[in-house]
Amino acid sequence: QVELVESGGGLVQAGASLRLSCAGSGLTFSNYAMGWFRQAPGKEREFVAAISRHAVSTYYADSVKGRFTISRDNAKKTVYLQMNSLKPEDTAVYSCAARPWATATAVREFDYWGQGTQVTVSS
């Protein structure tokens, strides 16, 4: 049974940093591309960042490019999202997701999802 568990969310002021973690179990982690998505109240879930199986390639939404960094540690079965220079518009529930083999950026292309962690950025 595949399980993804996020951690690291919280309440911070604008300009602060947070690092989210997503630990996987029940899967051969290095066989899966990983992604981070977020959903703000009243809005659809949106792509934030993705990383290929061995971290050769990374992808970012334009809204976070230059501020967020996705990385992974396959030995620890964990993917990270370093978020710097946070803005109030980054407030959302952040979820990690996994899909086998090829990297993707669309919600519908990911097979497994975590429950999410709340990130709130105050102005």
Query: Tell me, what's the pLDDT at 80?
Result: 98
Query: Nearest Cα to 37, choosing from 117, 121, 103, 100?
Result: 117
How many whole angstroms separate alpha carbon 108 and alpha carbon 20?
A: 22
For the chain, the maximum distance between any two Cα atoms, rounded to a whole number of angstroms, is: 40
Query: Tell me, what's the pLDDT at 75?
Result: 98
Query: Nearest Cα to 40, choosing from 95, 110, 104?
Result: 95
Could you read off the pLDDT of 57-102 as tens digits, one per residue? 999 999 999 999 999 999 999 999 999 999 999 999 999 999 999 9
How many whole angstroms separate alpha carbon 59 and alpha carbon 50?
A: 5
How many whole angstroms separate alpha carbon 121 and alpha carbon 123?
A: 7
DSSP-derived 3-state class of residue 23: strand
Q: What mean pLDDT comes out for the span 46-53?
A: 98
Query: Tell me, what's the pLDDT at 7?
Result: 98
Residue 57 is given by DSSP the state: -
Query: Tell me, what's the pLDDT at 110?
Result: 98
Residue 115 is given by DSSP the state: -
